[in-house]
Amino acid sequence: MNLKVQVLAPVFAGLLLLILIITLAFLLYYKIKRRRNKQHHVCLSESPFIDSKWKTYVQLDIEEKASQSTHGFQKEKKRNGQYIPLPASNYFDDVYDSPGELDDSEYHSESDACDKAKKKDGNFLRTSKGKVYTSTPDSIHVVIQFIKDKPLPSNNTELWIKKSPCSSCSSRLLDLYKFSPKPTLYIGAISRPHHSDDDKGLIQLLKEGFNIKVWDPLVDENDCDVNEYINNLKKTM
Same domain (yes/no): 12, 87: no
Same domain (yes/no): 69, 88: yes
pLDDT tens by residue, 181-210:
999 999 988 989 999 999 999 999 999 999
pLDDT on residue 172: 95
Question: How many domains in the chain?
Answer: 3
Same domain (yes/no): 121, 187: yes
DSSP 154-200: GG--EEEEEE---HHHHHHHHHHTTTSPPPEEEEEE-SSTT-HHHHH
What are the distances in angstroms from CA 228 to CA 124, 232, 234?
A: 22, 6, 10
pLDDT on residue 59: 36
Which has more confidence, 23 or 14?
Answer: 23
* Strand bridging mode 184-189 / 211-214: parallel
Same domain (yes/no): 227, 115: yes
Q: Best-predicted range by mean pLDDT among 15-29, 42-56, 76-90, 211-225?
A: 15-29
Backbone φ and ψ of 227, nearest 5°? -60, -45
Same domain (yes/no): 87, 124: no
| Residue 224, pLDDT above cutoff 60 | yes
pLDDT tens by residue, 45-62:
344 333 433 333 333 333
Which has more confidence, 41 or 21?
Answer: 21
Q: What's the whole-number average pLDDT of the chain?
A: 71
pLDDT on residue 195: 92
pLDDT on residue 200: 95
pLDDT on residue 171: 95
Same domain (yes/no): 57, 113: no
3-state SS record for 97-118? CCHHHCCCCCECCHHHHHHHHH
pLDDT on residue 215: 84
> How many CA within 13 A on the CB side of residue 210?
29
Backbone φ and ψ of 41, nearest 5°? -100, 135
> How many CA within 13 A on the CB side of residue 45?
0
pLDDT tens by residue, 77-132:
444 444 444 333 332 333 333 333 333 456 656 666 666 666 677 788 889 888 88
pLDDT on residue 123: 86
pLDDT on residue 100: 31
Same domain (yes/no): 108, 223: yes
CA nearest neighbour of 68 among 50, 45, 86, 93: 86
Same domain (yes/no): 230, 129: yes
Same domain (yes/no): 4, 88: no
Same domain (yes/no): 117, 82: no
Same domain (yes/no): 161, 132: yes
CATH assignment of the domain containing 127:
3.40.140
Same domain (yes/no): 32, 68: no
- Range of 178's domain? 99-235
